[in-house]
Amino acid sequence: MRQLFLALFAMFGLATSVAACPDYNQYGDTYQATGYQLRTPRLFNVTAGGDSYIWNCPNVRPRTDRGAGYFPTPPDFSFDLSGMGGYQLVISVRSNCDAALLINTGSANWYYDDDDNGNQDPRIVLTRPSNGWLDVWIGTYDGNYCDAQLRMETFPR
């Protein structure tokens, strides 16, 4: 009986943690942009942070860094990108805290970064970004919240 109880508790606990994890089936503030338009950097203000500890989320397995971070469930931003051929996309954050960055591309790849932009801020460079949806979460390394700014910019390859 005890084993059954523990199994049910584990299943319920897992279901609860997955439900609170970053979810690319939800949308954040939605924008459209082309690779050419993003040659001029676009800046977006946001509050960094969230309640979901990234490594408690089995649905999120980044192809890059494996640091800590707390993120919201819906993305902060959802971008519908087009005309990305011939560009690399630089996604970076400036913040008043130790921010973290999580993205999910149109090809369902997860990317994470914590400090590559310097000053405890994240930066991810997609060398061959795809057209389609790009979801962006701005979290924090330690679970605090702070003011932050997302920067999206393309450069010719």
CATH assignment at residue 81: 2.60.120.380
Q: Which pLDDT belongs to residue 29?
A: 97
Phi-psi sector, 120: left (phi>0), alpha (psi -120 to 50), beta: left
CB 90 within 8 A of CB 53: no
Q: What is the pLDDT of residues 64-109, one digit of tens each?
A: 666 789 999 999 999 999 999 999 999 999 999 999 999 999 888 9
Closest CA to 77 of 34, 133, 30: 30
Residues spanned by the domain of 126:
2-156
Q: What's this model's pTM, rounded to 2 decimal places?
A: 0.85
**Rounded Cα distance, 12 and 8, in Å:** 6
Task: State how many domains the chain has.
Answer: 1
Cβ density class 86-124: b for 16+ within 10 Å, e for less: ebbbbbbbbbebbbbbbbbbbeeebbbbbbebeebbbbb
**Rounded Cα distance, 30 and 47, in Å:** 16
DSSP letter at 55 equals G
CB atoms within 10 A of CB 127: 8
